Amino acid sequence: TNKRGRDIKTRVDEVLARVNLKDANKKFPNEISGGMQKRVAIARAIVNNPKYLFCDEPNSGLDPETSIVIDELIQEITKEYNITTVINTHDMNSVLQIGEKIVFLKNGIKEWEGDNEQILETRNKSIVEFVYSSDLFKKVRESMLAESEEEHNHHNHDKK
């Protein structure tokens, strides 16, 4: 092998090791799990040291535990490689876990922008309907907001 070929192989081995798939270069896509396929996709995306990482539904088709692993990996790689990561997702667990700046789109139009704490407190109708689509989650949200308001009122009362 020439030097360039060895350099490429070394770099591929490095990024595969980084996503915990040291021996995956010897396997075909149909021989690895969905979570492993997602990690291979991340490795392919970072192999050339990009400034930006675009992830389209990175947790699609994964179980909740594997989704968390993928989210953490994306978060680590974003910091380690000092890159800007843009994630398109419907997975609210992912949004809340690793979202820093969140833009909520509806029918291709920006409806809301904020962070992962503000999204839980917003009264934006589209977000409330999307995030809290079940009656149970709507009740949980109302309870959280009521507690938050009570604490706020109690805190302000103590200052007087």
Apex 26 CA angle, 68 and 20, nearest 5: 25
Query: Which two tokens mark 106?
Result: 């509806």
Q: Give the model's pLDDT for residue 159.
A: 58
State residue 139's pLDDT score.
Answer: 83
Residue 129 is predicted with a pLDDT of: 85
CB proximity list for 74: less than 8 A, separation 6 or greater: 42, 53, 55, 58, 85, 87, 98
Residue 53 Cα distances to 86, 88, 110, angstroms: 6, 11, 21
- CA 48 to CA 53: how far, in whole Å? 11
Domain positions in the chain are: 116-160
Give the mean pLDDT per block of 10 residues along the chain (160 residues): 81 91 84 91 93 95 93 95 95 92 95 92 88 80 82 68
Q: What was the pLDDT predicted at 61? A: 92
Who contacts 44 (Cβ-Cβ below 8 Å, separation ≥6)?
A: 15
Each residue of 35-66: pLDDT tens digit?
999 999 999 999 999 999 999 999 999 999 99
Distance (Å, whole) CA 12 – CA 18:
10
